[in-house]
Amino acid sequence: MSIRYPNGKPYHINNDKKTSGNQLKKKKPSYSNRGMTLEEDLNATNAYYLEKNQAVIHKKPIPIQVVNVNYPRRSAAKITEAYFRKASTTDYNGIYKGRYIDFEAKETRNKTSFPLKNFHEHQLDHMQKCHDHGGICFVIIRFSALNRVFLVDFTSIHKWWQQQFKDDKKKSIPLKNIENEGFEINYKFSPRLPYLDVLDKLIAQE
């Protein structure tokens, strides 16, 4: 299915390479997370937190306008093209310990750095507004080739985002800096991706 932003640019899954439907089907499963995507891991984790009454955090619905629908047979319909009704903000939001939580989830196949092109300016603007009003904003980044996941505070992400427009024009965040500025999240059986444990460390630094 083709989904486009309001300006007509194509929307891609949260990684730095285009992936076709056939490539998705052929993706080799990881023995540590059974081939699940970061989004699937987070959705399963959020369901666990909700069940245990630890937090109420949900994935935001995508505001799309359907343009074309294919009907291969009368009993089935397939959306082949759609557009965002408006620019999307971040992936997840909710409440944790009385605090508003707002974060984005990103994946990259790059082994040494995280490309800043995976962000959109309106996402950073949204997190800045939430941060200014006392919300806790961050990004969860997964290096899929390394199977390592990090939680990085919005202020660190924003610093790197602004730096790309300066003289050095850095277009990515080196992994070593993410290791130093963020918090690594280790996979567990339940919850799958215990990011609230790491978030507590971030809150303690405020």
One digit per residue, the tens of pLDDT, for the chain of length 206 reads 555 555 555 555 455 544 444 443 444 433 344 457 999 999 999 999 999 999 999 998 665 545 576 777 766 776 666 454 445 678 899 999 999 999 999 999 999 999 999 998 989 999 999 999 999 999 999 999 999 999 999 999 999 999 888 866 789 999 999 999 999 999 999 999 999 999 999 999 88
pLDDT of residue 57: 97
Supply angle C-alpha 59, 180, 183, rounded to 5. Answer: 35
- How far is it, in rounded angstroms, from Cα 130 to Cα 79? 33
Cβ burial of 192 (10 Å; 0-12, 13-18, 19+) is buried
- 3-state DSSP of 64-127: EEEEEEEEEECCEEEEEEEEECCCCCCCEEEEECCEEEEEEEEEECCCCEEEHHHCCHHHHHHH
The token duo for 201 is: 């460390």
- How far is it, in rounded angstroms, from Cα 120 to Cα 161? 10
Q: How many Cα atoms are found within 13 Å in the side-chain-facing hemisphere of 126? A: 18
pLDDT of residue 65: 47
- Helix or strand (DSSP H, E) at 38: helix 38-51
pLDDT of residue 29: 36
- Helix or strand (DSSP H, E) at 171: none
SS3 state of residue 10: strand
